[in-house]
Amino acid sequence: MGVSQLLVLVLRVAGTRIEGPAVGPFWAGRRLAVDVSGWLHKAKLRDAAEVVSTGVSDKAVSYMIQMVEGLLGLGATPVLVFDGASYPPKQATQDSRREKVEENRRAAEAAAADGTASGRALNGLFAKAALVQEPLLRAVMNWAIEREVEFVVAPMEADQQLVSVLDYARVDSILAASQDSDLAAYGGTSVAYDYSEKDGSCMHVCLLEDVLGKVVGEFDFTQWTYDRFLTMCIWSGMDYYKLKNHGLKTVYKEMAKAIGLKDQGLALGDMPHPPLADRPGAWLSEAAVRLYSGPMISKLGAEGDAEFKKVWRAFRAVRYAPVFTFNPATGDKPFAFKDFRACPPTPLESRGDRDAAWSTVNGVDEAYVAGLDEDWNNLLEWDENRSTSLACGLLTPAKLLEPSRVRKIGKNIVAPG
């Protein structure tokens, strides 16, 4: 979904348009972590009735191949990043979406059965009912293995895994295959938006160089840290939190009032912004987030403190989302299946303090953390028994080619196949 208006009002204004003669040099030799979810959601619309019926269609797979081959033709090296299991703090949003899709499926099948819709109208009904399912994922991943295109399956949300891959896997940029602006909110420091498969053009945004510390259109971010920026995005509305009648402009104008206030020794005005992994821990403390949020809390009056608690939970949900860290193979393909290894999933920016950190994230409790650890142990045991390497902890080439062997691994993680 993304942060409402962030892409239009901030990212497209701040970014650099890559087009014409600049296209070739930009893509050539660039390693890209590709957010394939956007492409998959477009692919499922190709012969949507067949996708609803069987989970896959030839046209859907051909579309995915076409998109990836386009990047290869530009000289880029794509690393496809797939969503994994559902992330508990986002479960309510995902459940609501699935309920709506299920209603659409029943309506489409009823219309097809009684003949009340046909042609384009019927296709439109099935398009609303189509889901990205295991057969489509399996087909795309099998093709990627045959084509020797690297891919990663995130333990849960792909967005945070994409950002993590920038740090750990020698990836130069993220390619946002949709209009989802969450990647910037999550700390994607080099993201290509608005990619056109026709001519290779895109909008390239570098968060630390183009946004933070700069004036961007109507927004003055000259004394904004990344964590203040993330707080603004959350108050403006993300999948983890929504507040009615408070869009990006309204929230920015309120939060800007906190600039220059006593910062409790946080040194929030220091610029240029350091790398996200090296910024002071105090910047992302509850005290700091409350300071950033002060004008919003005051504006909401009696409801302010209660809403801030929700924002703080959302802030931690972003920071502590589980991601795979890597000990990748040496050479040109860190995610080569023959010698790939993934470390256990750890919360983003919480190395070694997972249990304590997750205890305050909405939707995550001790039983959930124990379940994730159990899943990881099951995956390791399964891998050893199969005598094959892990493909980001969830999938192996052999697993993909033998879909009946394991349908569900552990309690929380469902692997395609």
Tens of pLDDT, residues 165-193: 786 667 899 999 887 788 999 899 999 99
Distance set, CA 360 to CA 45, 286, 316, 344 (Å)? 39, 11, 8, 21
pLDDT exceeds cutoff 90 at 313: no
Cis peptide bond prior to 272, omega within 30° of 0? yes
Distance CA 127, CA 247 (A): 30
pLDDT exceeds cutoff 50 at 408: no
Q: Answer left, alpha or beta for residue 256, where phi above 0 means left and psi between -120 and 50 means alpha.
A: alpha
Distance CA 329, CA 152 (A): 14
Full-model pTM? 0.81
Distance CA 51, CA 126 (A): 9
Q: What average pLDDT does the chain have?
A: 77
What's the pLDDT tens digit per position in 32-87?
999 999 999 999 988 888 888 888 899 999 999 999 999 999 999 998 988 877 77
Q: How confident is the model at residue 154 (pLDDT cuts 50, 70, 90)?
A: confident
Average pLDDT over residues 243-256: 93
Q: How confident is the model at residue 387 (pLDDT cuts 50, 70, 90)?
A: very low
| Segment among 188-192, 269-273, 326-330 with least mean pLDDT | 326-330
Q: How confident is the model at residue 119 (pLDDT cuts 50, 70, 90)?
A: low
Largest alpha-carbon pair distance within the chain? 69
Contact 81/151 with Cβ under 8 angstroms? Answer: yes
Q: Answer left, alpha or beta for residue 113, where phi above 0 means left and psi between -120 and 50 means alpha.
A: alpha
**Which amino acid does the sequence have at 294?**
G
Q: How confident is the model at residue 382 (pLDDT cuts 50, 70, 90)?
A: very low
Distance set, CA 88 to CA 181, 184, 364, 381 (Å)? 21, 21, 6, 25
pLDDT exceeds cutoff 90 at 377: no
Average pLDDT over residues 280-296: 89
| Segment among 170-179, 224-233, 293-302 with least mean pLDDT | 170-179
Q: Which residue has the higher pLDDT, 384 or 346?
A: 346
What angle do helix axes 286-299 and 304-319 make, rounded to 10 degrees? Answer: 140
Q: Which residue has the higher pLDDT, 251 or 240?
A: 251
Average pLDDT over residues 220-232: 92
Highest mean pLDDT among 40-49, 200-209, 340-349, 376-385: 200-209
pLDDT at 260: 72
Q: How confident is the model at residue 221 (pLDDT cuts 50, 70, 90)?
A: very high
What angle do helix axes 226-236 and 248-255 make, rounded to 10 degrees? Answer: 140
Distance set, CA 386 to CA 144, 315, 334, 402 (Å)? 21, 39, 22, 12
Q: Which residue has the higher pLDDT, 224 or 406?
A: 224
Highest mean pLDDT among 145-154, 256-265, 368-377: 145-154
